[in-house]
Amino acid sequence: MKNLIIAGIGGQGVNVLTKVLAEVCRSSGLEAQYTIHKGGAQSLGTVYGEMRIANGGLPILGASIPKGKLDILVALDPWEALRHLPLAHSHTQVWVETQLQPLFNDRRLQVEPASPLDQLHQLPLAINWRHYRRIAIAQYGNAKMANYLAGLDCLHALEINNITLFDQFFSKPFPLANNHKT
């Protein structure tokens, strides 16, 4: 069994990506359960999808991944990566977007919070740094395709090689650009 979290902020397509990955897993012969958590997801609020994936039967599990049981974390925002790291273990596979989104904090604070990138660099985990937004804009002309690129990393981590199936499910909510490269 694999436990996966896709984390981001409102407007990044975490909801769609979670649903698409669940369908791809099921169509690939795996069992998949997921739940989507939306904080203030209207704009820049926390959004994350938790998935449990297994080859064969998947028992009915609680909605949350227990501490130390997270196998794969894909974060479209570095702050959200930090939020979910307490669930990780020493072999958790981690992919993190490098571009920071604005953080709204208490303006009365005299000191800015430490950079999440600096905090992530200090951890004893092998982190795969990604420029999802930058690549999405360059390849597709749209930063919202960053979730598609994150989905490709999820497929890799789950050892699912059927990108064509992923494209079929993904293109339903968002048509892919003509210059799509596999």
* Residue 61 domain flag: yes
Judge contact between 7 and 95, C-beta under 8 A. no
CATH of the domain at 70: 3.40.920.10
* Residue 181 domain flag: no
CA distances from 74 to 29, 57, 111 (A): 22, 25, 29
* Residue 125 domain flag: yes
* Residue 72 domain flag: yes
* Residue 178 domain flag: no
- In this model, does residue 179 exceed pLDDT 60? no
Closest Cα to residue 130, out of 158, 96, 84? 96
Confidence (pTM): 0.83
Judge contact between 3 and 54, C-beta under 8 A. no
Q: For residue range 110-130, list pLDDT tens digits in order.
A: 556 678 888 888 888 889 999
* Residue 179 domain flag: no
* Residue 176 domain flag: no
| Domains of the chain: total | 1
Q: Are strands 70-75 and 88-97 parallel, antiparallel or unpaired?
A: parallel
By residue range, what is the domain housing residue 75?
2-171
User: Among the listed ranges 27-31, 35-39, 87-91, which one has the minimum average pLDDT value?
Assistant: 35-39
